[in-house]
Amino acid sequence: MSVAPVVLVYHPDEADAYARLIRVPTGRDVAIHVCTTEPEAAAVIGRARVAYAWKLPVALYAKASKLEWLQAMGAGVDWALPGLPRRVVVTRAPGIFGPWMSEYVLGWCSWVTQRTESYRAAQRERRWIGDVVPGRLRGKTMTLVGVGDVGREIARVARAVGMHVIGVSRSGGRVPAVEHVYRPGYLGRALSAADFVVVVLPLTRKTRGLIDERALAAMRPRAWLLNIGRGAVVDEAALLHALQTQRIAGAILDVFPTEPLPADHPLWGLDNVVITPHVAGPSTAEEIAPVFNDNLARWLRGRPLQHVVDRSRGY
C-alpha cells in the first residue's frame, strides 16, 4: 500500500485558510498537516515532502530530510533560501503581487502629485487654499529598479496614465511599457531621470545596499523614492540622511531592514516620509491557491513545476 505524501501547510495566522483551498486531483491522495507554530511544524517536517509556507522557520531545515518542494506563499523567497538543501525546489507565485503593488505605487504617486496632504491639512483648519494646485502624473518619469513580474505590471499601469517609465535590470533586456532598461552599471543615469524611483528588487547578495549614498545622490532633489521590495536593498543610514537634509523630496516606505520598524526609529518622525507596515503586496489564500494547486497536480504526476526559483540568482 502506498503512503500518501505529506504536505505541510505552515502559516502563523492563516494556515487553515490556505489548507482549505488545496485541491488534490481526482484519484490522488495527500496527507495535509496544518501547522501554525514552529513546534507543530517540527513534529511533521521530517515526514513532509511538500511545504506550502509563509516563512517556514529555517531551524526546521535540519530535520527536513524528505522535503522535495517548497511553495512560498509570499512574494519574496530570501527568507527561504539560506541553508535550504539544494535538492529542494522552491517555487514562487508570480502574477499575484503586481496588481496589488501597482495600485499601491500609483496611489502613493498620486498622493504626492495631488497634494493630498496640503488639502487635508487646510480642511482641518477650514482654509480654502485655491492657490495650491495639484500636479499630474502624466509626463512624469518613473524609474523602476527591478522589472520582474511585479515591476512589469507597475510599468504597464504607469504607462496607462501617461508616465514615462525607465527600468533597471540585471540583463538590461527590453520590457513592455518600459522605454529604456539600463543595466546596473548605469543605475545613476536611470535614477537621475526620475520623478519617482520605485525599488522593487528581491534581496540577494547583489542587491543588498544597492541604493546607497551614491545612488541617492544621483536622484533629483524633487524626486520621491518608493521601496516596496526589501528594506535592506536601500542603505537605511544613507536614506535617512538624504531625507533629513532634503537631498530628495521624500520616501514612501513599505519595507525595512528591521520589521516591525522599531518605535524609536528616526524615520517615524520625518514629515517627508510615509511608512506603511509591509502591506503593498498582501498574500491571500484565495490568490495563491491556484498557483499551488496547479503545481501540486504537476508534482503528483512527476511533471516539472512552474515558477521555479533560480537558486543561483536568489529569486
Of 11-19, 71-79, 113-121, 182-190, the segment contacting ligand OXD by CB under 6 A is 71-79
Residues 196-255 that bind ligand OXD (CB under 6 A): none
Q: Report the nearest approach of ligand OXD to the CB of residue 101 (Å).
A: 10
**Which of these segments, 12-20, 58-66, 72-80, 131-139, binds ligand OXD (CB under 6 A)?**
72-80
In terms of CB distance, is 76 or 148 closer to ligand OXD? 76
Using the minimum distance from each CB to ligand OXD, give the nearer residue, 80 or 137.
Answer: 80
Rule CB under 6 A: choose which of 44, 201, 281, 315 binds ligand OXD: 281
Q: How far is CA 293 from the centre of its chain?
A: 22
The backbone region for 162, taken as left when phi is positive above 0, alpha when psi lies in -120 to 50, beta otherwise, is left
CA–CA separation, 159 and 46 (whole Å): 49
Which amino acid would we find at residue 189? R
Using the rule CB under 6 A, is 146 a contact of ligand OXD? no
> Beta 224-227 vs 250-253: how paired, if at all?
parallel
CA–CA gap between residue 159 and residue 142 (Å, rounded): 9
Q: Which residues are catalytic?
A: 230, 259, 278
Total of residues contacting ligand OXD (CB under 6 A): 6
Q: Are 114 and 107 in contact (CB under 8 A)?
A: no
Nearer to ligand OXD, 5 or 98 (CB): 98
Residue of 283, 288, 291, 292 interacting with ligand OXD (CB under 6 A): 283
- Closer Cβ to ligand OXD, 15 or 193, answer by number: 15
In whole angstroms, the minimum distance from the beta carbon of 19 to ligand OXD comes to 19
Per-position DSSP letters for 231-244, written without gaps between them: GGGB-HHHHHHHHH
Shortest approach of ligand OXD to residue 104 CB, angstroms? Answer: 11
Peptide bond into 260 cis (omega under 30): yes
Single out the segment in contact with ligand OXD by CB under 6 A; choices: 68-76, 144-152, 182-190, 212-220.
68-76
Using CB under 6 A as the binding rule, whether residue 75 contacts ligand OXD is answered as yes
Question: Which residue number, 144 or 242, has a Cβ lying nearer to ligand OXD?
Answer: 144
**Could you tell me which stretch among 20-28, 126-134, 275-283, 300-308 binds ligand OXD (CB under 6 A)?**
275-283
Q: 42 phi and psi, to 5 degrees?
A: -60, -30
Residues 161-180 binding ligand OXD (CB under 6 A) are none
In the set 8, 51, 76, 104, which binds ligand OXD (CB under 6 A)? Answer: 76
Grid cell in block for residue 176: 513592455
How far apart are CB 282 and ligand OXD at their closest, in Å? Answer: 7
Query: Which one of 74, 98, 148, 151 is in contact with ligand OXD (CB under 6 A)?
Result: 74
Residues that bind ligand OXD (CB under 6 A): 74-76, 278, 281, 283
